[in-house]
Structure 1
Amino acid sequence: MTDRTLTEGATSLLRFATAGSVDDGKSTLVGRLLHDSKAVLADQLEAVEHASRSRGHDAPDLALLTDGLRAEREQGITIDVAYRYFATPRRRFILADTPGHVQYTRNMVTGASTAELAVVLVDARNGVVEQTRRHAAVAALLRVPHVVLAVNKMDLAGYAESVFAPIAEEFAAYAASLGIPEVTAIPISALTGDNVVTPSAHMDWYGGLTVLEHLETVPVVTDPTAEPARFPVQYVIRPQSAAHPDYRGYAGRLDSGVLRVGDRVSVLPSGRTSTIAGIDALGESVDVAWAPQSVTVRLADDLDVSRGDLIAPTAGPPPITRDVEATVCHVADRPLRVGDRVLLKHTTRTVKALVKELPSRLTLDDLSQHAFPGELAANDIGRVVLRTAEPLALDAYADSRRTGSFLLIDPADGTTLTAGMAGTAFAAGAVRPAADDEGWDF
C-alpha cells in the first residue's frame, strides 16, 4: 500500500475559520466546540477554570481556550488569529478564530485564506451589521467554498424563530449578491451549548444540523491534485560530494497537481523546456509526486533554474505577464496609493512592482464601486493594476487559490501592505512600459 493510498483512506480534514463582530461570541463558540467534543485536555480546562475564577466568573469562561494572550484576556477580546486543532471520530479540523474589531479585519484574510468553510457569527439582538457584511465580502473574495451563518445568543432573544428567520434571510440575500452560492444558517447559543454540539431543547422549530454535525458532514472536495501542476522552486541543491558530483536538484513544495518522471515541463518565466529525469522525496527516488508534497525535482537538461522559478507542465502553463489586475484587501495602516513602489511576492518569487492604477474601492453597504478612490486604507477592498519589473507566471485566483494569490510588501521595512487575488492579467507588453528610473518605473 502506498503513502497516497493511506492518505486517501484517513479521516478527512476540514480547515475552517470563524468571523464576526466583536463580542458576537466567536471565542465562546470555539471553546464550546472544543469542550463539548472532548477536545480539551484536563490541564487546559483547569487553567481556564482558574482564570475564570480570578475574573469573578462562577462557571468556566470557555472563550479563554482560544483567547490565550494576556492582552486578549485582559480586554476580553480576540486581537490575533488563534489556531486550534481537534478531531472527532468523523473528521479532523484546523480552526482559525479571527478577530472581530474593524481594525483587525485584515487578520481574517490570514485565517480564511486557506479555509474551506467560514462560520460567520451574528448577535441575534443586533442582526447583520457592517462588520458582518465585511466578513462575508472577505469570504467571497477569498472564494471560501462553504459559509455558515451562526445566529448566536438566541438565549437572550427568547429562542424565538421570529428573531432568527429575518436575520437568516437578510444575510442570505447579501451573500447571494456577493456570489456566495449557498449559506447554511444555524440558530445557536454558544454560552449554553444550544445547537453547537448537541441539539437544542429550546428551539424545536429548528430541524437542521448542529454546528458540529454540519462541520463533520459538509463535503470537502478541495483536491490540489486535480489542478494543473505548479512547482515553485525554493532552493537549488548542489551537493559537493564524490558520490554525486553532477547532482542538481530543485527543491520545493508542489502547490498543486501531480508530477511524474518523464513529464515534459517548462521552467517559467523563461519558458525553457525539459523533461523530469527524477524526483526525490525523503531521500528516496520516486516516480510520482502530488500536492502538497515537498520534493526535489531533477531535470534532464542543464537549465538556468533558481529560486522563484516555477516548474509547470508544458501543455498547461500559467500565463506570463508583467501587467497584473487584481482584487486586493489592504492590510497595513499605511495607505496604498497610485505611484507607490512595492515588492510583489508570489509563491517563492519576489519582484519590484509599481502601482499603476486603483480603479475602484468596494463600498460594503450596497456593494457599489467607488471609482478611482486615489488610495486604499487599512481593511479596504478594491481593485489594483500593477506593473512588475520582471515577468510572473501568475494564475487567475479563480483557477488556483495557491498560485493566483500574492502579497504587496513595503520595500523599505518589509511590512506586508496588501493581500492580492489575481483577476484579469493583461498580456505581456499590452501596456507600454515607462522609462526606467532606478529600476522602479517599468
Structure 2
Amino acid sequence: MAGAAVNALALDALDPQPVELLRLATAGSVDDGKSTLIGRLLYDAKQIFEDQLEHVVEVSRRRGDGHVNLALLTDGLRAEREQGITIDVAYRYFATPRRKFVLADCPGHEQYTRNMVTGCSTADVAVILVDARRGIVEQSRRHAAIATLLGTPHLIVCVNKMDLVAFDAAVFERIAHEFGELASRLGARDVRFVPISALHGDNVVDRSQRTPWYSGPTLLELLETLPIAADRNLRALRFPVQWVIRPQDDRWHDYRGYAGQVASGIVRVGDEVVVLPSGARSRIAAIETADGALETAYPPLSVTVRLEDDIDVARGDLIAHPSTAPALTRELEATVCWMSEQAATPRARYRLKQTTRSTPARIEAIEHVLDVATLERARDVDRLELNDIAHVRIRTAEPLACDTYRDNRATGAFILIDEQTGETAAAGMVEAVR
C-alpha cells in the first residue's frame, strides 16, 4: 500500500487534476445478462443517441421481446443478434463528468478464451457477472482466473438478476463469500461486490430502493472512484522508442528526436538515462509535445524526447534510468494464451514483438498447460491448441530489455507472430528472465 500511496502522491504533484481514462473489460457466462448490463449502463448514464435507442426499440418490437432490449446496444454483430450471444470483443467509449471509459465487452464462451485475454490485457478493471439464481459456475471461475492471470488490478463482481431471487440479501452474501474464497486462491488484489438487476437498473447507475441491506456504491460510482492512478508503475522509467524523428530540412539538420509513449516511470529534463540494448548513456535535453515543451512526462503521455549526446538510437530501443534499468535477456519463462488455430510444438519458430521491438524467437519447451477452471496443470504436453494457456520457455535471437509481467505490464507483455501468415499466434506474459 505504501508504494500505491507514493504513486498517487507523485501523480498529484505532477498534475493536480489529471484527466483519467479507465479501461474496463466485462465478462460473464451465457445468459448472465452482460450485454443487458452494458446497455443499461450506457442508457442510464445517457450515453446513447436517440436514433440508436429508436433502432433498439424497433428491433425489440420485431423480435417480440416484450420490453426494450438494451442488450442490442452492444450485440452489434448480426450473428450475435440472431443467436442472442456475444461472440467477439466489442469496444465501447463513453464518459461521465468524472472519467472517460473504454469498455471491452468480452464473450463468455470457453472457445473464445483468446477474445477475453485480448479484452483484459489492458484493462484496469474486470467486471464479472454472476447470475444470482445459478451462483458461481465454471465460466465464472474461468473469467476470474484469466483476469487475475493478466494482472487486472481490480475485479468488480456484479451479482445480477437479483430481482429473480426477490432481492434476497442471503443469496448475495453467499455468492460474495464463495467468490471471495476463489479470488483469494487466485491472488486477486482488489475485489468488490455489487447486487444488481441489469434489466431494471437496480444499483447500476442509480441506487436501488429494493436493496436497503446494501450500503455500498453502485456500479457506476465504483467505476468513477476506483483509485487507478495508484496502479501505475511510476518507480521505473520505461520509454520504448517508436519513431526516430530526423527532419529532412536544412533548418533542422541538428535535430534528432525520439518519439513514443511513456510506458511507466517519470522522466524529467536533465535525467541521466541509458539506451538499451546498446547501453549508451546520455541525459534528457528536452521533452516535447504538439502542445509545447514539458519539464516532466509520465504514463500514458506520448512525447518526443531529445538527448544531450548524439548517440545511436533506433526504433525498438528502450530508454530507462540506469539505476532501475531492466535486465537484458534472450531466455524467457512466460505464460502464453494460444490464439492460433495452427497448433504450436516445441522448437517452433515465430517473431516475438515486445513494446516496439521485434525479434525471431522459438518455443524451447512447453512446461505445462493450465486448466483455468480447476487451476490444475497438465504436464507432458507436446503441443498447444487454440485457447490453451500454458507455461513455456522461449529463446530469442536478439536480447530484449524486459521486466516480469508482475512488475511491469507494459514491458512484461509480448505477442508471438506467425512469420508465414503475419497472424498473432499467442499473447504472452513474462514470468521470469534468465
Please indicate, yes or no, whether the TM-score normalized by the shorter chain is above 0.5.
yes
- How far apart in 2 are the matches of 1:197 and 1:62? 14
Q: Which amino acid aligns with 2:132?
A: A
Structure 1 stretch displaced more, 25-34 or 3-12: 3-12
Q: Which position in structure 1 is the counterpart of 2:269? A: 261
Tell me if structure 2 keeps the 8 A contact 1:86–1:94. Answer: yes
Counterpart of 2:257 in structure 1 is 249
1:413 aligned residue (390, 412, 421): 421
**1:101 & 1:407 partners in 2: Cα distance?**
23
Q: 1:185 aligns to what? A: 193
Do the aligned partners of 1:341 and 1:353 also contact (CA within 8 Å) in 2? yes
- TM-score of the superposition, structure 2-length normalised? 0.91
Indicate whether 1:39 and 2:47 are aligned: yes
Q: Distance in 2 between matches of 1:303 and 1:368?
A: 50
Residue aligning to 2:5:
none
Cα distance in 2, alignment partners of residues 258 and 207 from structure 1: 38
Q: Return the letter of the residue paired with 2:316.
A: G
* Larger displacement relative to structure 2 (208-217 or 15-24): 208-217
| Offset from partner CA, 1:154-174 (integer Å, 9 cap, x none) | 222333334333322222111
- Percent of aligned pairs sharing the same letter: 55
Partner of 1:55: 63
Q: Which residue of 2 aligns with 1:119?
A: 127
Q: Which amino acid aligns with 2:148?
A: A
Gap regions ≥5 residues in structure 1: 427-442
CA offsets, 1:180-227, max 9 Å, x none? 144222222111222222233433333333222222332223464623
Consecutive aligned runs of 4 or more in structure 1 exceeding 6 Å deviation: 3-6
Distance 2:18 2:51 in 1: 29
Deviation of the 1:356 alpha carbon: 0.6
Residues 321-376 of structure 1, C-alpha deviations (whole Å, 9 max, x = no match) = 00001122222222222111111100111111110111112123432222232222
Q: Tell me the amino acid that sits aligned with residue 270 of structure 2.
A: G
C-alpha RMSD of the superposition: 2.2
Distance of 2:293 and 2:177 partners within structure 1? 55
Query: Does the 8 Å CA contact 2:139/2:373 hold for their aligned counterparts?
Result: no
- Verify: 1:107 aligned to 2:115, yes or no: yes
- Report the counterpart of residue 3 of structure 2 in structure 1: none
Look up the match of 2:178. Answer: 170
Q: Which runs of 5+ in 2 are unaligned?
A: 1-10
Q: 1:407: how far off?
A: 0.6
Deviations 1:234-274 (A, max 9, x none): 12222121211222222222212222222211111121222
Alignment of 1:268-279 (within 5 A): 268-279=276-287
1:15 to 10, 17, 23: 23
CA distance in structure 2 between the aligned counterparts of 1:214 and 1:326, rounded to whole angstroms: 33
Q: Could you tell me the TM-score, scaled by structure 1's length?
A: 0.90
Question: Of the candidates 194, 211, 214, which is equivalent to residue 203 of structure 1?
Answer: 211
8 A Cα contact 2:416 2:427, kept in partner: yes
Which whole-Å CA distance do the structure 2 matches of 1:259 and 1:204 have between them? 49
Aligned mate of 2:397, from 389, 393, 399: 389
Match of 1:375 in 2: 383
Please give the alpha-carbon distance, in whole angstroms, between the structure 1 residues aligned to 2:184 and 2:308.
50
- The Cα of 1:27 is off from its aligned counterpart by 0.8
The whole-number CA distance in structure 2 between the counterparts of 1:261 and 1:6 is: 14
Moved more, 59-68 or 26-35: 59-68
Bigger Cα displacement from structure 2, 52-61 vs 18-27: 52-61
Contact 2:233 2:408 in 1 (8 A): no
Assess if the C-alpha contact under 8 Å between 2:146 and 2:372 holds in 1: no
Select the residue among 69, 77, 95 that pairs with 1:87.
95
Pick the aligned partner of 1:306 from 302, 314, 317. 314
